[in-house]
Chains A and B, each alone.
Chain A
Amino acid sequence: MSNGRLRWRKFISNFMLAMTGVCAFVSVLVLFFILGYLLFNGGTSINWDFFTKLPKPVGETGGGMANAIVGSGKILLLASLMGVPIGFLGGIYLAEFSGKGMASVVRYAADLLNGVPSIVIGIFAYSLVVLPFKHFSALAGAFALGIMMIPITLRSTEEFLKSVPRMLREGAMALGASKWKTIATVIVPAAYRGIMTAILLALARVAGETAPLLFTAFGNRFESHGWSQPTATLPVMIYTYAVSPYDDWHRQAWAAGLVLLGLVLIINILARTILSRGIAVPRS
């Protein structure tokens, strides 16, 4: 092969490989750009008022998003209470009890549910919870978000339970423990870390969802009490404020964006470090 041709191929090789490096760094750079931009615009707008005050009437400056922060917290708590037990216990069923047929049906249903666009879940929650009870509520919003948490929780529970070494199971059974006792006292604790991280990741995912809340939790100018009142939430406030013409509302939208992104990223980083640092299943 001629030297010139070889040099050309080598040049192309180095060039293209460098380009892939550029692609990778550009992609990662986007993340830092987003963070930086939010920090810059949101950071300057975050003040004590933002966390403690209620929104002001239209056109007036000042005020905060205290009700939205509490509202989001409430809905996420309730969503976890709804979605996690179903996913967790269902995952136990798949890993420990089920036969092949039922398992594939459940897994298929969970995968299907996972792929449903969040706006469609909002439609479902509206028909099932808002209409019959005749009001928008935190409960309806939590129902929508809870459904979204189920597939991740279910699949992860199943996987982590299955990855517990046979030795642990056999050891417990050899000692005379019944099946459910084995599961409750040996297997689940062993897989605890992995399952916790999965729940955290599911939580982070639904924390940022806006579309399903649009017609379930709706919105509230004030603090909402209990579970059955319309509730303000961070993502919906960001949306409302961002598309408005008021500069003060834009400022608050950046602040809220920073808080929301910060929350989501912290949960993600926490979950991933737990997973990678500790072994999900301790060696006996």
Chain B
Amino acid sequence: MKRFVGLATGVLALCAIVLADNALLINGAGATFPYPIYSKWFDVYHTKNPNFQFNYQSVGSGAGIKQVTEGTVDFGATDGPMNDDQLKAYQDKHNGVGILHFPTVLGADVPTYNISGVTGALNFTPDALAGIFLGKVTKWNDPAIAGTNKGVSLPSADIVVVHRSDGSGTTYIWTDYLSKVSEEWKSKVSKGTSVNWPVGLGGKGNEGVTGLVKQTPNSIGYVELIYAVQNNIPYGSVKNSSGNFVKADLASVTAAAAGAAKSMPDDFRVSITDAPGKTAYPISSFTWLLIPQKFQDAGKRDAIKDFLKWMLSEGQGSVEALSYAKLPKEVVEKEKKAINSIQ
């Protein structure tokens, strides 16, 4: 009996310690594409506002959309904007209340590879990329690749394609681009966060794909720019619609968004892949936070609104260090107004 009482007291004491609730926890989940900058932002924001903890789980855009629709997280994140069916599904589940897209940064999908002896940037044409991911270009020294890379000695090894195994906005961006530049891709595979890949291995998250490419010789994958940079793996240039081979960087990604900045729709859903412009990087994209239009919890709503305002002003200052491009001024202004519509 004594032992039982002792145990019970211990358990209750533990509960008391554990139940002490000091900060407001706001849960979000979604895209791995912007995870490096989001984790940095939430960390800095928490230091400035210790009462708020933004817990962001990098599980992929597909899961972000799903979980915010189910209501199991407070906000989502995706690089593939929700389509009309998904928006309607959200509204149906939430009594007609909608969900808003808020662009946060500009980023780029880069083709990253692991070929022994090749440390520089290979030039890829749209046909080469489509061919590789369709499984039709199977060797690294195929003319489709070798033709635009004279002077680089490419091995006759088989290409190991790496793609995403989870529902991914990064995949959406990549397949959106391939659908625009390849009729065959469009009809066979088309675009989406989770597609029926003709070939390749699946890695979980941008992290998983980078990890697989890093460890697998003769592999190629598509990842957000910062993942290639942070892990020191080479990535290639892609031929844009004006015929120039452009490598992804702040300038080329910003150039890709130039046109969209002016004609941004009210719901902020837009695709900037294969954008016109001599210096534009063709596989660039916005990435969005998915914020419900109405919040039950006033505390969470105010915290999120405050974070969004901070993100659009101070937050933008830290994006370039992680190789993301800042949002165009016009978009920032438009978003500031949109924040007010969150109830």
Given known A135-B27, A245-B210, contact A222–B72 (CB-CB < 8 A): no
Residue B55 is within 8 A (CB to CB) of chain A in the complex: yes
Q: Provided the pairs A57-B40, A218-B57, A225-B20 are in contact, do residues A136 and B27 lie with their beta carbons within 8 angstroms?
A: yes
CA distance A136 to B203 in the complex (A): 24
**Mask: chain B, 10-44; 1 = CB below 8 Å from A; 0 = not:** 01001000111111010101000001100110110
A270 to chain B, nearest CB (A): 18
Is A244 located at the chain interface by the 8 A CB criterion? yes
Chain A 166-202: CB-based contact to B (< 8 A → 1; otherwise 0): 0000000000000000000000000000000000000
B190-228, CB < 8 A from A: 203-205, 207-208, 210-211, 214, 226-227
In the complex the two chains form, what is the Cα distance from A183 to B46 in whole Å?
Answer: 54
User: Which residues on A sit within 8 Å (CB–CB) of B53?
Assistant: 221-222
**B57 — which chain A residues lie within 8 A by C-beta?**
218-221, 230
A246 and B203 form a contact (CB under 8 A)? no
B174 within 8 Å of A (CB atoms): no
Q: Is the interface of A mostly helix, strand, loop or mixed?
A: loop
The answer to whether B56 has its CB under 8 Å from any CB of chain A is yes
Bound complex: CA of A225 vs CA of B208, how far in Å?
A: 30
By a beta-carbon cutoff of 8 Å, the part of chain B in contact with chain A is 11, 14, 18-23, 25, 27, 29, 35-36, 39-40, 42-43, 46, 53-58, 70-73, 203-205, 207-208, 210-211, 214, 226-227, 230-231, 322
User: Cβ of A221 and Cβ of B71 under 8 Å apart?
Assistant: no
> Which residues of A does B touch, CB under 8 Å?
56-59, 74, 77, 81, 130-131, 134-136, 218-222, 224-227, 229-230, 240, 243-246
- Interface pair A245/B19, CB less than 8 Å apart: no
Q: In the bound complex, how far is the Cα of B71 from the Cα of A136, in angstroms?
A: 10
User: How far apart sit A244 and B40, CA to CA, in the bound complex (Å)?
Assistant: 17
Which residue in A57, A135, A219, A224 is a CB contact (below 8 Å) of B36? A57
Q: How far is the CB of A208 from chain B (nearest CB, A)?
A: 20
* In contact, B19 and A221 (Cβ under 8 angstroms): no
CB of A252 to closest CB in B, whole Å: 14
- Sample of 9 more A-B contacts, CB < 8 Å, known A57-B43, A58-B58, A221-B39: A59-B226, A131-B72, A221-B56, A225-B18, A225-B25, A230-B27, A240-B207, A244-B207, A245-B211
Residues of B within 8 A of A57 (CB): 36, 39-40, 43
Asked if A222 contacts B55 (CB within 8 A), the reply is yes
Measured CA separation A77–B12 after assembly (Å): 12
CB distance from B327 to the nearest CB of A (A): 20
Q: Which partner residue on chain B sits nearest A184 by CB separation?
A: B1
Across-interface contacts of A136 in B (CB, < 8 A) = 27, 72-73
- Neighbouring A residues of B55 by C-beta, 8 Å: 219-222, 230
Some 12 contacts from A to B, beta carbons below 8 A apart, are A59-B230, A77-B14, A135-B27, A221-B39, A221-B55, A222-B53, A243-B211, A244-B210, A245-B210, A245-B227, A245-B230, A245-B231
Within the complex, the shortest CB–CB distance from A61 to chain B, in Å, comes to 11
Q: How far is the CA of A243 from the CA of B165 in the complex (A)?
A: 12
CA distance A224 to B58 in the complex (A): 17
Q: Which 10 A-B pairs rank lowest in CB-CB distance, beginning with the nearest?
A: A245-B210, A244-B207, A57-B39, A245-B211, A58-B36, A57-B40, A134-B71, A245-B231, A222-B53, A59-B230
Residues on A with C-beta less than 8 A from B227 are: 245
Q: B339 CB to closest chain A CB, in angstroms?
A: 24
Using Cβ atoms and an 8 Å threshold, which residues of chain A touch B42?
A: 221
Task: Write out the residue numbers on chain A whose beta carbons fall within 8 Å of the beta carbon of B40.
Answer: 57-58
* Min CB gap A134→B, angstroms: 5
- What is the minimal beta-carbon distance from A76 to any residue of chain B, in angstroms? 12
A226-B207 CB under 8 A given contacts A57-B40, A136-B27: no
CB neighbours of A230 from chain B (8 A): 27, 55, 57
Partner of B19, one of A135, A226, A240: A226
A225: chain B residues at CB < 8 Å are: 18-23, 25
Cα A196 to Cα B57 in complex, Å, equals 37
A68: min CB distance to chain B, Å: 13
A245 x B207 contact (CB < 8 A):
yes
